[in-house]
Structure 1
Amino acid sequence: SLSLCLSLSVSVVKASDGSVVSTFDLPKTSLLSLSPLSSVLVTWQPYSKTQDSPQGEANLQLWDLQSGQLIKALYQKKVDSWCPSWSDDEKISVRSVNNELHFYENNDFNSIANKLHMQKVSDFVLSPGAQPSKVVVYVPGSKGAPSFVRLYQYPVLGGPTAALANKSFFKADRVTMQWNKRASAVLVTASTEVDKTGASYYGEQTLHYLAVNGETALVQLQKSGPIYDVAWSPNSAEFCVVYGFMPAKATVFNLKCDPVFDFGTGPRNAAYYSPQGHILVLAGFGNLRGQMEVWDVKKYKQVSKPQAPDATHFSWCPDGEHVVTATCSPRLRVSNGFKVWHYTGSVLHKWDVAAGSELWEVRWQPFPDGSFPERPVKYQAAPSELGTTQAPPTQAYRPPALRHLPATPSAKLHEEEPPQNMRPGASGEKSLSKSALKNQKKREAKKAAKQEAKPESPSEPAPVSNSQSEPSSGDPETDKKMKNLKKKLKAIEELKEQQAAGKVLDCKPRPLRSVLQSQLSKLSQLPPFLYLDMLNARLIGA
């Protein structure tokens, strides 16, 4: 069914043939919604008082969709959380009234089946899926007390041990709570209006995890900055977070809140899993250029990198093979239209609105879960007459007077981080951390520079490796003397080797004993700990 709010009435029509199911005389209706199984129509008008009704009229109506009869009229002054929430099977519904949550069963709104009383409860979310239903509630902090989120299973709502999980935290002016598909865990994004450290104009965000088994955790993010998007995988076993100052990072975490795969940095602010959960799209819409990264999340291999500039909407087709991007009003009032893509980057269909018209919304036809099985991921672009729109490689701006000259490497504004596998036991460079990768690159560059600067000589003796650190006294003069003595000791060793090999020396050397005594007398002038360290080094080398 499809409900329409017109200027004088509200009509419900069948989406299949357009026939009218019911019509309601509600000229002031501002908001409306349907229950999950389309059994109940909910309408809301702005609350107002008149001389005839100083207490105001009930502005929230619940209608039986088939008969058109009014089920219940209720008072709902605030537009926040105006609509009741239903479980997927409509056996339970709940609405917030002052400091209580009122629960109803089987769409019987004439009697309250259960209540959850909690002071200053601000928000709640019912779990998806079958019974038993669960509800997660949020209470903001006040007067130095922390905010907290609690998780309950219906109908056990009272008592100190009724909550399945409890997580308290500071820095939370508002929260967003997201259940996974199996209703086994909740992700809570807590946000503040102002970042008191001054690091971000958009406030500060933190991510918290609660599970029905009582486990809670703070998700540790590896880059400071805002949290742009949080998306659960349809398999309910992992989730993706896009976060950090631009270029933003994207990381997949498991249910222990340990990182599984890091996609590196890039121009992105959203994450979209396919309905089957086998493909993940990281995208940068809004004030970004619309770049999309399509990843195979089983192999963690990139499939394509298309670009959809000025896109304001993205959604997956239920088949998990196609996506749609659209430019809609009022977000953008020019170049309205939509494109249908294959996930390999091919544009299969394009439609632009006529001049003077606007596109408001684009949606796929819904299908029940399981209607489309998962298919193997393809890496070759699907054939299309419209071609592909792969993002071109970005290059630094060069003035016209310098474009005929060979390009020179320039400093980068942001240091790009490559993708890396965070799973335990992952082999190769991808298993290294960010700091380890950076140190490894520095060592390789330093080694390459030394090899280029030093000419190859077969007669040159091989360098002697020493795993011990160089002793230091903290005094530059003493360190210089120590370095010179080490050179002389090394020269003595070379002379001994040449003499033992039968080589005739050009000059008659002093007796070895006298040379050693002279050097030892100089060593005795050094601080005791340096003298011992050098003596130990010589004994170990011998």
Structure 2
Amino acid sequence: MAPPIPLLAVRGSDGTALLRGPPSCDEHPAIQRDPRPSRCVSFSRDGSLFAWCNGDKVSVVNTADGSVVSTFDLPKTMLLEFSPLGRVLATWQLYSKSQGDLQGEANLQLWDLQSGQLLKALYQKKTEAWCPSWSDDESIAVRSVNNELHFFENNDFNTIANKLHMQKVSDFVLSPGAQPSKVAVYVPGSKGAPSFVRLYQYPLFGGPTAALANKSFFKADRVSMLWNKKASALLVTASTEVDKTGASYYGEQTLHYLAVNGESAVVQLPKNGPIYDVAWSPNAAEFCVVYGFMPAKATIFNMKCDPVFDFGTGPRNAVYYSPQGHILVLAGFGNLRGQMEVWDVKKYKQVSKPQAPDSTHFSWCPDGEHVVTATCSPRLRVSNGYKIWHYTGTVLRRQDAGELWEVRWQSFPDGCFPERPVRYQAAPGELGSTQAPPTQAYRPPALRHLPATASSKLHEEEPPQDLRPGPSAERCLSKSALKNQKKREAKKAAKQEAKSEAPPSPAPTPAPACNSQSGPTCGDPETDKKMKNLKKKLKAIEELKEQQASGKTLQKNQLEKIQKEEQLLKELEELELSL
């Protein structure tokens, strides 16, 4: 049986339409475009239902034949969401109250789609975490109310089956997958106490000892939590609004790993700077992190938080795994030029390098063969439109729009689209491809008439590197990258050899030894003091490296000290040569 053709919902100022996905990209024959601007759209988890609100009513239709399933007289609906099995539709409106009504109207409604009846009307003032979270089988639903979590069973929202009460629960994430369900909760620190994240298994909430795992940290104004697909581990990105060291305008971020077996760790990132994006692989056995000051690094880590593959540096701030997990896209959107790097994850080989400037949205098609990029309002109000690509870099459809608000792929259950072999040759298409042009470092006008040299580069680019143990550590590098790496190593070796073979400079009187750390030995007390301090720092670095080699986890400031070793050695060498 041939796999289905995914639909793409397009919402903008000219209405809402469903497109049959690539390669045809034409409008759905059974569902006519709604010319009225829609406030929100949503697909059910299995893709069989589609809902939208056009300012007049909420409509729910069957995506196969366009038949109407339900309609609701809710013209002010701003957000829509289906439960995982499509049994319940959650709708949200702006909270409001009149002068005579102190409580206001319940603005969160939960509807039974089969009967069209209202299951429960609730109060939800904020848009953050507005919708209840369901387990995949809908046996459990949970929502946050007044710093505690309320659990409901079997879509019975009139009875609270269980509560998890802690001091000021700020955020939570329910695990995916089969039962038993697990929940991760975040409690921000206060009055000198650290923030912490704890993992619980429902319904075992009997105090701190009942937690499956616990991780506390001081530097956290907010967190984002991400379960892997098997619900065996959680990644926590802890962020502060302000970096007190002044190193980053974006504050400070750290990445933490928690497993349901109680293990926890800080993911050590070898480059300083912000953490832009984190994504689990669909195989649930590895994750990718984009981090560091620009040009940013991207690294894949295994479940032991050991680096497996380093993609080098580049202009990127986002990472996206294909639904099947065999292809990975690194992209630079927002204030970057929209360069995308498409990688074969199994071979760690780059497939293509297309460019989609001014993109504000990226998402994979469920078939794992195509992606969509879009420039949406209000993020950007000019050049609105979308492109559908093949992952090899070919543009299959380009559509400009007066004002585009949202594009969204139809959802499908796992296994609907099998993994296909990765292609390296560009797919055929009438619109061609947009490979990123080679970029050059900025050069001041006074130097532009001179030939470019290696020293004129703004950043030293780092090539990809396979970090798995074994002789295959260089197999991922291209021929040119290997050639450049060997040139750098040869140049460095030649410099060291020239220094060792250089004749000693004649001196009228024998100079006192400068390798002692006790008292002045070179005649200049200031120079002796500098050299003594440098040697003291280098000795401390050696001790830290020995601790790291023995398996001890070092703090961030200790890792930064180790990174300064080469700079300190250079300073010491310059002082010794100046004598």
Give the TM-score taking structure 1 as reference length.
Answer: 0.77
- Tell me, yes or no, if structure 1 residue 238 matches structure 2 residue 283: no
Contact 2:326 2:419 in 1 (8 A): yes
Contact 1:419 1:430 in 2 (8 A): no
User: What is the deviation of 1:361?
Assistant: 1.7
Of the candidates 302, 321, 328, which is equivalent to residue 273 of structure 1? Answer: 321
Contact 1:42 1:63 in 2 (8 A): yes
- Tell me, yes or no, if structure 1 residue 225 matches structure 2 residue 273: yes
- C-alpha change, 1:438 and 1:206, in structure 2 (3 Å) is farther
- Tell me, yes or no, if structure 1 residue 126 matches structure 2 residue 212: no
Q: Distance in 1 between matches of 2:72 and 2:368?
A: 38
- Tell me, yes or no, if structure 1 residue 352 matches structure 2 residue 400: yes
- Tell me, yes or no, if structure 1 residue 68 matches structure 2 residue 108: no
- C-alpha change, 1:208 and 1:409, in structure 2 (3 Å) is closer
* Alignment-derived partner of residue 45 in structure 1: 93
* Alignment-derived partner of residue 435 in structure 2: 390
Map 1:66-465; keep pairs closer than 5 Å.
66-353=114-401, 357-396=402-441, 407-427=452-472, 444-448=490-494
User: What is the deviation of 1:176?
Assistant: 0.6
* Alignment-derived partner of residue 77 in structure 2: 29
- C-alpha change, 1:452 and 1:225, in structure 2 (3 Å) is closer
User: What is the deviation of 1:385?
Assistant: 2.7
Q: Distance in 1 between matches of 2:238 and 2:269?
A: 14
SS in 1 for 2:406: coil
Higher mean Cα deviation, 399-408 or 303-312? 399-408
- C-alpha change, 1:68 and 1:293, in structure 2 (3 Å) is same
Q: Distance in 2 between matches of 1:420 and 1:475?
A: 38
User: What is the deviation of 1:346?
Assistant: 2.0
The CA deviation string for residues 406-435 of structure 1, in whole angstroms up to 9 with x for no partner, is 555552111111111111224455799xxx
- 2:370 aligned partner, one-letter code: H
The CA deviation string for residues 462-503 of structure 1, in whole angstroms up to 9 with x for no partner, is x9xxxxxxx993399x99xxxxxxxxxxxxxxxxxxxxxxxx
**Cα RMSD between the aligned structures?**
3.2
* Alignment-derived partner of residue 516 in structure 1: none
Higher mean Cα deviation, 276-285 or 62-71? 62-71
SS in 2 for 1:161: helix
Higher mean Cα deviation, 107-116 or 38-47? 38-47
Map 1:494-509; keep pairs closer than 5 Å.
none
Q: Distance in 2 between matches of 1:109 and 1:375?
A: 43
- 1:358 aligned partner, one-letter code: E
- C-alpha change, 1:307 and 1:30, in structure 2 (3 Å) is closer
Contact 1:425 1:431 in 2 (8 A): no
Q: Distance in 1 between matches of 2:143 and 2:515?
A: 75
- 2:302 aligned partner, one-letter code: N
SS in 2 for 1:444: helix
Q: Distance in 2 between matches of 1:282 and 1:127?
A: 26
User: What is the deviation of 1:444?
Assistant: 2.0
- 2:123 aligned partner, one-letter code: Y
- C-alpha change, 1:306 and 1:92, in structure 2 (3 Å) is same
* Alignment-derived partner of residue 473 in structure 1: 513
SS in 1 for 2:74: coil
Q: Distance in 2 between matches of 1:475 and 1:74?
A: 75
Contact 1:47 1:76 in 2 (8 A): yes
- 1:111 aligned partner, one-letter code: T
User: What is the deviation of 1:403?
Assistant: 7.4
SS in 2 for 1:131: coil
Map 1:509-528; keep pairs closer than 5 Å.
none
Q: Distance in 1 between matches of 2:496 and 2:105?
A: 85
- C-alpha change, 1:129 and 1:410, in structure 2 (3 Å) is same
User: What is the deviation of 1:440?
Assistant: 8.3
Q: Distance in 2 between matches of 1:55 and 1:448?
A: 79
Contact 1:208 1:217 in 2 (8 A): yes
Contact 2:152 2:160 in 1 (8 A): yes
Contact 1:422 1:430 in 2 (8 A): no
- 2:432 aligned partner, one-letter code: G
Contact 2:464 2:476 in 1 (8 A): no
* Alignment-derived partner of residue 506 in structure 1: none
Q: Quick check: which has more Rg, 1 or 2?
A: 1
SS in 1 for 2:405: coil
Q: Distance in 1 between matches of 2:206 and 2:489?
A: 61
- C-alpha change, 1:112 and 1:440, in structure 2 (3 Å) is same
SS in 2 for 1:362: strand
- 2:406 aligned partner, one-letter code: E
Q: Distance in 2 between matches of 1:368 and 1:49?
A: 41
SS in 1 for 2:308: strand
* Alignment-derived partner of residue 538 in structure 2: none
Q: Distance in 1 between matches of 2:153 and 2:315?
A: 47
- 2:330 aligned partner, one-letter code: L
| Percent identity of paired positions between Structure 1 and Structure 2 | 81
- C-alpha change, 1:412 and 1:13, in structure 2 (3 Å) is same
User: What is the deviation of 1:184?
Assistant: 0.6
- C-alpha change, 1:404 and 1:106, in structure 2 (3 Å) is same
Q: Where do 5+ consecutive residues of structure 2 fail to align?
A: 1-48, 478-482, 504-510, 523-579
- C-alpha change, 1:20 and 1:472, in structure 2 (3 Å) is farther
- 2:141 aligned partner, one-letter code: S
Higher relative contact order (CA 8 A, sep 6+): 2
Contact 2:441 2:456 in 1 (8 A): no
